[in-house]
């Protein structure tokens, strides 16, 4: 960074030490650059004028032009105020001051034309303008100042120290002229040209003081691009650096276990996508670097078998493996599923969860340490410090969105060299977002469902179809099928949540009475053992209906289930609805998802139902979801190693820009990974300054 930009904000004229402190604590502004990058959150359009007759209390702001025809001081002492009358060809309006009465009384000129800007205020059912901004029409016409006025976010504390929006704008007005000709371009010139970007200086000047709407728009695009481009460069560089330094176990051979499983145990032909992903993983595992791969695949796309076959590659090379799932139910299902798949093979598999008894737990620990245990499946219990492996070579994390970066790194420490890590998720993330959130991971996608699946039919019904729903359920049960009914979780009130579920259960129980019908119930407040018992009954086909909260959301596999009823579906987010729907359609039968909602739906709610009935494609659903919710919610799922600090760019809506920025970043790193070329010099200087000590651009070649 140039000396100038790193200057402490304290030294800018009009700041000083006290306000510098406030700027730092409230807005994180410490340097000239910090202030320069403090962007407006909206603009007031000072190009538009209202007529006085058009002013009403609902307008956020109005700008008027008219003549002052009368000025008068009213009231005494503390109640004193100044009232002026402004007139145009449509009427008159009062301007009122409670402060600065003497000043305005002296300076306002009756008979002069003024431009007035203020928020309309309703007082005694009359509209007036309190403390308007004003200047004479002549001043207004002569002012070079932009007619699009930047508005900056403010807080009470800022305002108290005269650092409100207006004051910030004034500080920028002091700063910007000093930066003229000194804002070195930080995006290489070929990229600026290819993407038709505004130059850095113009963008920075126009974002704060737009000279036209057109230039403002181009400034915003330029700055967004810059933010995204810098992040992509850093993420991609991080990936390169990690690759260089992270040693990994070499799984050199495909051995007896993999081959024997492939020829004797694999119950179906792998899909093309599964084969492709296995090849990608195979390449990772033998190159001597640690694998960090994210495997995305819609619900039911068959990720488990890919995980298992990757694990077998580890076992064949003398390593142990771990498979971690977010819930006990899921871990248990994996355990049982894998045991069945591995039948007749000499492979020891164990399950470790919170409810495993001490004696068994000791046995597992011992076997892990002496190496007789090959595959350990479990919940978080598996990453506890006391769990020690003899030689962990590969770890699979299922449904990653419930695990954070911290947990991932705990896994890395389970061996002297970090084990390979495969993270599986059924939460589809739009490509552009994955590029940023998982920029430092490799991503594989299973984009093909196993053959023979019938597309799930999704219906959106209102309460008036409940009888029809029950009839439909009855008919499916008569065919031997099973049914899920899911109630929403109400976060604020577990009690209420339970009551809704309980009520629903009673209702179902009366409509589908024993002994003809059997109904299971599962909810979060049950003991693990009871939950498991109820779950097992449904999995084994002993019950017809499973009434539950969203505990069954993740991963549960009951191929005979053909209807998923989601109650109060409007209360669920799109990705959750999609996850729930994925519980059916896992066998060969036609399956259905029925979304039950109240009659009153918000426009978001309606869009969610429409999206669900319109498509089964998880990626399409994720796109809509992202647009509805915005990327804020995704912070918790962030897996990348670089903090993502975007001021203007929006991960939800700027997909196209993300693609372009990433492409540009890849283009540069391909030819010049250390940014040594002359044309990349401005960029190098910028990045090195921005990240003192973080990514070192010249340390590797
Ligand atoms: P998910 O990706 O949601 O974890 P699973 O791995 O649980 O999906 O697979 C869903 C179902 O599809 C399982 O019953 C599994 O046995 C089956 N399956 C997986 N791959 C294939 C395939 N290539 N052909 C047929 N069935 C498959
Ligand atoms: Mg799964």
Tell me the backbone φ, ψ of residue 26, rounded to 5 degrees.
-85, -35
Mean pLDDT of 87-112: 93
- How many other C-beta atoms are found inside a 10 Å radius of the C-beta of residue 473? 24
Does the beta carbon of 585 sit less than 6 angstroms from any atom of ligand 1? no
User: What CA–CA distance (Å, rounded) separates 600 from 660?
Assistant: 41
Domain ranges across the chain: 1-46+164-182, 48-145, 256-285+301-425, 457-615
With tokens 């970066």, the residue in question is 405
Question: Would you mind telling me the total number of residues written for the chain in this entry?
Answer: 701
| DSSP secondary structure letters along 15-32 | THHHHHHHHHHHH---BH
For domain 48-145, the CATH class is mainly beta
Taking only the tens place, the pLDDT of each residue in 333-377 is 899 999 999 999 999 999 999 889 999 999 999 999 999 999 999
Q: Are 20 and 27 in contact (CB under 8 A)?
A: no
CA angle 288/293/296 to nearest 5° reads: 155
Mutate to test the pocket of ligand 1, among 296, 298, 304, 399 (most ligand atoms within 8 A of CB): 304
Distance 305 CA to ligand 2 centre (A): 9
Residue 546: which of 458, 455, 473, 468 has the closest Cα?
Answer: 473
Helices and strands, number each (H, E), in the chain: 24, 22
Q: Which residue has the CA at smallest separation from atom 14 of ligand 1? A: 586
Kindly tell me if the per-residue pLDDT of 137 is higher than 70.
yes
Which residues touch 618 (CB under 8 Å, ≥6 apart)?
298, 299, 426, 428, 578
Does the beta carbon of 303 sit less than 6 angstroms from any atom of ligand 1? yes
Kindly tell me if the per-residue pLDDT of 175 is higher than 50.
yes
| Range with the poorest average pLDDT among 282-286, 411-415, 532-536, 650-654 | 650-654
Q: Are 278 and 272 in contact (CB under 8 A)?
A: no
Distance 304 CA to ligand 2 centre (A): 6
Distance 564 CA to ligand 1 centre (A): 19
Does the beta carbon of 533 sit less than 6 angstroms from any atom of ligand 1? no
Q: How far is CA 659 from CA 82, 193, 260, 624, in A?
A: 57, 17, 43, 18
Kindly tell me if the per-residue pLDDT of 693 is higher than 60.
no
Q: Are 429 and 298 in contact (CB under 8 A)?
A: no
Does the beta carbon of 583 sit less than 6 angstroms from any atom of ligand 1? no
User: What CA–CA distance (Å, rounded) separates 405 from 400?
Assistant: 10
Q: Are 522 and 539 in contact (CB under 8 A)?
A: no
The fraction of the chain above a pLDDT of 70, given in percent, is 91
Ligand 2 ion: nearby residues, β-carbon < 5 Å: 555
Name the more confident of 409 and 641. Answer: 409
CA angle 428/430/433 to nearest 5° reads: 120
User: What CA–CA distance (Å, rounded) separates 2 from 598?
Assistant: 60
pTM of the predicted protein model:
0.66
Does the beta carbon of 116 sit less than 6 angstroms from any atom of ligand 1? no
Q: Are 55 and 117 in contact (CB under 8 A)?
A: no
- Superfamily of domain covering 256-285+301-425: P-loop containing nucleotide triphosphate hydrolases (3.40.50.300)
Question: What pLDDT score does 80 carry?
Answer: 87
Does the beta carbon of 557 sit less than 6 angstroms from any atom of ligand 1? yes
Mean pLDDT of 117-127: 89
User: What CA–CA distance (Å, rounded) separates 450 from 300?
Assistant: 8
User: What CA–CA distance (Å, rounded) separates 562 from 482?
Assistant: 6
User: What CA–CA distance (Å, rounded) separates 676 from 687?
Assistant: 13
User: What CA–CA distance (Å, rounded) separates 11 from 339?
Assistant: 69
Pick from 145-149, 326-330, 486-490, 673-677 the range whose average pLDDT is largest. Answer: 673-677
Mean pLDDT of 457-484: 95
Q: How far is CA 322 from CA 38, 325, 643, in A?
A: 47, 10, 29
Distance 450 CA to ligand 1 centre (A): 7
Mutate to test the pocket of ligand 1, among 294, 299, 450, 579 (most ligand atoms within 8 A of CB): 450
Q: Are 185 and 179 in contact (CB under 8 A)?
A: no
Distance 255 CA to ligand 1 centre (A): 24
> How large is the C-alpha radius of gyration of the chain?
32
Does the beta carbon of 304 sit less than 6 angstroms from any atom of ligand 1? yes
HSE of 141 in the Cβ direction (CA atoms, 13 Å)?
6
Distance 482 CA to ligand 2 centre (A): 20
Residue 620: which of 575, 571, 572 has the closest Cα?
Answer: 575
Kindly tell me if the per-residue pLDDT of 3 is higher than 70.
yes
Tell me whether strands 292-297 and 420-425 are parallel, antiparallel or unpaired.
parallel
Distance 444 CA to ligand 2 centre (A): 15
Kindly tell me if the per-residue pLDDT of 701 is higher than 60.
no
Question: What pLDDT score does 493 carry?
Answer: 57
Does the beta carbon of 450 sit less than 6 angstroms from any atom of ligand 1? yes
Kindly tell me if the per-residue pLDDT of 2 is higher than 80.
no
Same fold, 256-285+301-425 and 457-615: yes
User: What CA–CA distance (Å, rounded) separates 404 from 637?
Assistant: 7
Does the beta carbon of 271 sit less than 6 angstroms from any atom of ligand 1? yes
Mean pLDDT of 212-238: 90
Q: Which residue has the CA at smallest separation from atom 22 of ligand 1? A: 450
Counting from 1 in the atom list of ligand 1, the atom nearest the Cα of 557 is: 7
Q: Which residue has the CA at smallest separation from atom 5 of ligand 1? A: 302
Domain 457-615, CATH number (from 3.80.10.10, 3.60.15.10, 3.40.710.10, 3.40.50.300):
3.40.50.300
Kindly tell me if the per-residue pLDDT of 668 is higher than 80.
yes
Taking only the tens place, the pLDDT of each residue in 27-78 is 989 999 999 999 998 888 887 899 999 999 888 889 999 999 999 999 887 7
Counting from 1 in the atom list of ligand 1, the atom nearest the Cα of 398 is: 4
């Amino acid at each position: 960074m140039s000396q100038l930009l790193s200057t402490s904000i304290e030294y800018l004229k009009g700041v000083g030490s006290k306000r510098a402190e406030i700027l730092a604590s409230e807005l994180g502004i410490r340097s000239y650059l910090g202030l320069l990058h403090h962007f407006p959150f909206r603009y007031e359009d000072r190009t538009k004028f209202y007529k006085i007759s058009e002013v009403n209390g609902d307008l956020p702001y109005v700008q008027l032009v008219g003549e002052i025809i009368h000025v008068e001081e009213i009231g005494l002492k503390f109640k004193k105020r100044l009232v002026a009358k402004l007139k145009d060809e449509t009427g008159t309006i009062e301007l009122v001051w409670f402060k600065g009465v003497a000043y305005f009384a002296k300076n306002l000129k009756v008979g002069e034309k003024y431009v007035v800007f203020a928020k309309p205020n309703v007082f005694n059912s009359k509209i007036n303008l309190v403390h308007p901004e004003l200047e004479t029409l002549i001043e207004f016409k002569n002012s070079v100042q932009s007619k699009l006025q930047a508005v900056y976010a403010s807080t009470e504390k800022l305002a108290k120290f005269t650092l409100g929006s207006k004051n910030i704008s004034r500080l920028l007005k002091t700063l910007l002229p000093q930066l003229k000709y000194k804002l070195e371009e930080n995006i290489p010139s070929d990229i600026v040209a290819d993407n038709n970007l505004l130059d850095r200086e113009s963008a920075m000047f126009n974002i704060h003081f737009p000279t036209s709407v057109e230039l403002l728009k181009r400034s915003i695009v330029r700055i967004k691009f810059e933010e995204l481009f810098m992040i992509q460069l850093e993420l991609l560089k991080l990936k390169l650096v990690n690759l260089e330094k992270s040693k990994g176990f070499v799984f050199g051979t495909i051995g007896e276990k993999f081959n024997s499983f492939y020829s004797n145990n694999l119950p179906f032909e792998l899909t093309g996508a599964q084969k492709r992903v296995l090849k990608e993983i195979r390449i990772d595992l033998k190159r001597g670097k640690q694998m960090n791969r994210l495997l995305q695949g819609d619900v039911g796309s068959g990720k488990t078998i890919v995980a298992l076959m990757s694990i077998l590659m580890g076992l064949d090379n003398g390593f142990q493996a771990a498979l971690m799932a977010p819930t006990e139910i899921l871990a248990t299902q994996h355990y049982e599923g894998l045991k069945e798949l591995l039948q007749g093979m000499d492979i020891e598999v164990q399950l470790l969860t919170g409810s495993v008894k001490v004696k068994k737990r000791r046995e597992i620990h011992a076997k892990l340490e002496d190496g007789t245990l090959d595959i350990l499946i479990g919940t978080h219990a598996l990453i506890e410090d006391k769990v020690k492996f003899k030689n962990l070579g590969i770890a699979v994390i299922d449904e990653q969105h419930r695990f954070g970066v911290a947990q991932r790194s705990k896994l890395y420490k389970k061996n002297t060299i970090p084990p390979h890590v495969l993270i599986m998720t059924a939460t589809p993330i739009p490509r552009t977002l994955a590029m940023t959130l998982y920029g430092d991971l490799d991503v594989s996608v299973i984009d093909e469902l196993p053959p023979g699946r019938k597309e799930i039919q999704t219906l959106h019904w209102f309460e008036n179809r409940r009888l029809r729903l029950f009839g439909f359920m009855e008919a499916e049960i008569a065919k031997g099928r099973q049914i899920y009914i899911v109630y929403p979780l109400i976060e604020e009130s577990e009690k209420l949540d339970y009551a809704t579920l309980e009520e629903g259960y009673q209702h179902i129980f009366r409509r589908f009475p024993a002994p003809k019908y059997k109904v299971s119930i599962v909810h979060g407040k049950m003991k693990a053992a009871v939950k498991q018992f109820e779950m097992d009954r449904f999995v084994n086909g002993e019950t017809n209906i499973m009434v539950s909260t969203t505990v069954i959301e993740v991963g549960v596999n009951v191929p005979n289930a053909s209807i998923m009823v989601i109650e109060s579906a409007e209360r669920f987010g799109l990705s959750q609805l999609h996850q729930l729907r994925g519980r059916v359609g896992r066998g060969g039968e036609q399956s259905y998802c029925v979304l039950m909602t109240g009659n009153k739906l918000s426009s978001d709610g309606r869009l969610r139902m429409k999206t669900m009935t319109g498509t089964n494609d998880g990626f399409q659903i994720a796109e809509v979801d992202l647009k509805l919710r915005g990327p804020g919610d995704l912070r918790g799922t962030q897996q990348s190693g670089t903090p993502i600090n975007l001021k203007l760019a929006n991960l939800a809506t700027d997909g196209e820009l993300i693609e372009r920025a990433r492409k540009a970043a890849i283009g540069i790193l391909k030819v010049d990974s250390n940014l040594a070329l002359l044309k990349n010099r401005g960029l190098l200087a910028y990045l090195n300054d921005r990240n003192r000590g973080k990514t070192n651009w010249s340390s590797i070649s």
